[in-house]
Structures are given as C-alpha cells and as structure tokens.
C-alpha cells in the first residue's frame, strides 16, 4: 500500500496523511485518501477486461464536468494534466470526495431528469472532447465468443469441485442462453443497418447514485461511458413511470426504439456472463471464487435473477 500512496502523492502533487478502505467495487479497488484539508476517492483498476474502457471514459468524464454536468464526482487531474496515472499495469484515478451514501432511495422523477440532462449534453461533449469516444458498434461477435466459452466450460472434465459446480450451472442454462444469443444476433443485424440516434450514456446509473437528499443526486462510476442509443440508460427503469415523466420533461421528443431496447438488455446480459465467469475462473482466493459462483447461481436462476423479467421481454 505504501508504494501506491507514494505514486499517488507524486503524480497528483498532494501530501497524503493516510488512507482508508472504501467499499470494494466489481471493477476496482477503492480507497479514501486523506490529506490535511481534503479527502479524495481513489480507484485502482487492475482487471484487463476494464482497463481500456476506463482509459477512454475518464477524459470524456472530465469534459462532461466542464460543460455543466455537475451532478457527478469530478476526476482530479494529475500534475501532468491527466485524469489518471498508470502504475505497474494498473490505472489509478482520483475523484473529488462526495460525502453522501450510495443508495436506491432517491426521487425517480429527479433521476429521470438527470439522465435526460446527460443525454442532452451529447453534442456539447462531442464538440469539446479530443479523444475518441467509445461508441456502440452493434457487434454480435463478442456475445458469440462468450457463449462459445461457456460451452467449453460446460463440457470440461475437472476434479475441482467448484469448477464442477460451475460446469453444471452453465450446462443447465446453456439452452436458454442460446435462445437469447439467437435473438441478440437478429437484433444486432437489424441495428447495424439502421440509423438509430446515439447519445452519451452512462450504462449503469441506477445503482451508482450518491444520495445527498432524495432530490439532490450525484452519479458515480462512469467507467462505461459510451455513445449509444438512449435505451442503454433507460431500459432498466422503464417500469418507473415517474422516472420516464422526468426524462420526457427534458427530452419530450424521445420515442423508444424496440430493437435498441432489446439490444441494451441482451448486451448487459452477455457482459454480465463474461464478468461472472472471469471472476470465478481467475486465480483468486477460494472464498472470492465461491462468493462469485453463488452470486452467479442467483443471477442465472429465473426465480432470483434480477435480469430475467427484462430478458423475457426480448423473445
């Protein structure tokens, strides 16, 4: 930990007094950095699966904060005017510290307006950003690769009990996953030949809200910023009428695109599959792998997996 703090101190030109652990996120290890007069939120991202997307997202996040989107934890620039630093293959980023709990207890109407405000900033951000913005390309291939990897796991012979449980879990779900893969192929094919409008999307905002008060919100974890159909930010809030009312107040022209809606749900599903399996198969501790396997079992169950009501609407 001491070399990490020294690198942060050197890169950001701050004098660190101490650090405390923050709740660990799926993408990153997190800390609260204390100086004499300030606190910062620190993310350390080591997973290759996420490094590239975070590198592309952070400069865009910085521009977003400069064009008037203030409901966010702003990145702190290094002394070299960069929003992150690379250290031994890991990405380190500091953010202003927001003293508020992460919660779902917020006003849906306010949240809807906030997402609409983000989407309405698209052209202004594109005008000012110098780096290439990650853009949805409606590629089917990544989902096919995930599915092929799952099939190999399902038939792999092993004496490891945890891996046997993983293989059985996937084997019991593989036909249903295949049906969603077929739907995803049809949807991506249709979208790749259409002219669906894109906006700047967060990708996972509902669960990444710091709640100062129910109507004073701060969105965090902008790791997956992407130009994509608006549905990427809307589908998992579509049954919240107050959210949609707030969204339409600032974007009255919005009309849902059915294939984009299906794509957003299925893309999230295959990315989730990829991330769960990577956490279970990586050389982590047994407890870490066991915890993720239990979570994966819950996720794949049609009775307990939160995504299944949405998946059923895509068939």
pLDDT computed for residue 284 by the predictor: 77
Q: 88 pLDDT exceeds 90? A: no
Residues 214-269: pLDDT tens digits? 999 999 999 899 999 999 999 999 999 999 999 999 999 999 999 999 999 999 99
Mean pLDDT of 148-152: 97
Residues 295-313: pLDDT tens digits? 999 999 999 999 999 999 9
Q: 23 pLDDT exceeds 80? A: no
Domain spans of the chain, in order of start: 2-135+198-250, 141-196+257-314
Q: Which residue has the higher pLDDT, 87 or 23?
A: 87
Q: Which of 3.30.200.20, 1.10.10.10, 3.90.79.10, 3.40.50.10470 would CATH assign to domain 2-135+198-250?
A: 3.30.200.20
pLDDT band at 5 (very low <50, low <70, confident <90, very high): confident
Q: 25 and 2 in contact (C-beta within 8 Å)?
A: no
pLDDT computed for residue 184 by the predictor: 98
pLDDT computed for residue 24 by the predictor: 63
């Amino acid at each position: 930990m001491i070399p990490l703090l020294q690198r942060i101190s050197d890169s950001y030109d701050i004098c660190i007094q101490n650090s405390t652990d923050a709740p660990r996120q799926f993408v990153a290890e997190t800390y609260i950095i204390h100086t004499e007069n300030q606190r910062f939120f620190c993310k350390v991202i080591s997973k290759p699966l996420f490094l590239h997307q975070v590198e592309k997202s952070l400069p865009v996040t910085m521009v977003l904060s400069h064009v008037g989107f203030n409901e966010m934890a702003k990145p702190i620039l290094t002394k070299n005017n960069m929003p992150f630093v690379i250290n031994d293959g890991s990405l380190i980023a500091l953010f202003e510290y927001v003293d508020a709990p992460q919660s779902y207890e917020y006003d849906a109407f306010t949240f809807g307006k906030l997402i609409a405000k983000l989407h309405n900033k698209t052209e202004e951000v594109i005008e000012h950003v110098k780096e290439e913005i990650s853009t949805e390309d409606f590629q089917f291939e990544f989902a096919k690769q995930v599915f092929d990897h799952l099939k190999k796991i399902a038939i792999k012979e092993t004496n490891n009990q945890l891996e046997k449980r993983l293989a059985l879990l996937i084997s019991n779900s593989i036909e249903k996953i295949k049906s969603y893969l077929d739907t995803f192929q049809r949807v991506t094919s249709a979208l790749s030949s259409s002219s669906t409008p894109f906006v700047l999307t967060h990708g996972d905002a509902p669960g990444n809200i710091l709640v100062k008060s129910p109507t004073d919100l701060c969105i965090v974890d902008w790791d997956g910023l992407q130009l994509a159909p608006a549905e990427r930010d809307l589908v998992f809030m579509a049954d919240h009428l107050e959210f949609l009312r707030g969204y339409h107040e600032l974007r009255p022209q919005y009309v849902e695109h059915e294939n984009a809606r299906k794509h957003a749900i299925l893309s999230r599903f295959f990315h989730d599959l990829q991330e769960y399996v990577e956490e279970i198969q990586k050389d982590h501790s047994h407890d870490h792998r066991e915890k993720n396997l239990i979570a994966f079992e819950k996720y794949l169950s049609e009775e307990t997996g939160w995504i299944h009501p949405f998946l059923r609407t895509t068939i």
